[in-house]
Chains A and B, each alone.
Chain A
Amino acid sequence: SQKIEQNSEALNIQEGKTATLTCNYTNYSPAYLQWYRQDPGRGPVFLLLIRENEKEKRKERLKVTFDTTLKQSLFHITASQPADSATYLCALWAGGGNKLTFGTGTQLKVEL
């Protein structure tokens, strides 16, 4: 069956460190993978998209990698800040490209 898996345990890191979140998928062949941020009481907000032929994508302090052989994407936040604390979700377009399916999300807490 198709699955998109993220670490269910919360990730706690110290301010200034790099946070690394993992997204693994099974039985998908995505051409694109997306990352979203969700704050408590709000809907997910789009952050980054990476294409299958891009190994790495950067946006300010964010970096995403995409390994189609491992079927994995890594999401990095460098120089993390308490304001980065949120839940981060990866997502794939499936079902012929029209069905946006999300992973379970990983909660990140950045501590002072």
Chain B
Amino acid sequence: DAGVIQSPRHEVTEMGQEVTLRCKPISGHDYLFWYRQTMMRGLELLIYFNNNVPIDDSGMPEDRFSAKMPNASFSTLKIQPSEPRDSAVYFCASSPQGGLNTEAFFGQGTRLTVV
């Protein structure tokens, strides 16, 4: 398996524009996580899915952020409208099962810059 695949690797956009980040999890993994990483706040969990269903979105900063998982092999994180403070690295991760003794596998991340 190629691992968790994210696209694009880098995204530069102007304030107010819509941004869509994409993730393909490892086949057979039931859990998918979206994280945001900044120097100030570290790695923050935004939302996670179990079997394509959003379970906990309490980390989503505001209504401008939305995430979907239409099928087991694809998820998107959308920001509309984007703001400079959204600039960060966004990671997608998947896990074969939730919790406890299972590890998470991360993608390479998308570096988002909003100017």
Are the chains A and B members of one assembly? yes
Which residues of A are interface residues toward B (Cβ below 8 A)?
31-32, 34, 41-46, 49, 51, 89, 91, 93, 95-105
Determine the interface band of chain B, counting residues with CB < 8 A from chain A: 20 to 34
Q: When chains A and B are docked, how far (Å) is the Cα of A42 from the Cα of B33?
A: 16
| Chain A binder among B65-73, B80-88, B102-110 | B102-110
Task: Tell me the interface secondary structure of chain B in the complex.
Answer: strand
B103 and A102: CB pair below 8 A? Answer: no
Report chain B residues within 8 Å CB of A49: 101, 103
Tally inter-chain residue pairs, CB-CB below 8 A. Answer: 62
Contact A46 B103 (CB under 8 A): yes
CB pair A99 B56 closer than 8 Å: yes
A94 CB, min distance to chain B CBs, angstroms: 9
Question: Are the C-beta atoms of A102 and B42 separated by less than 8 Å?
Answer: yes
A40 to chain B, nearest CB (A): 11
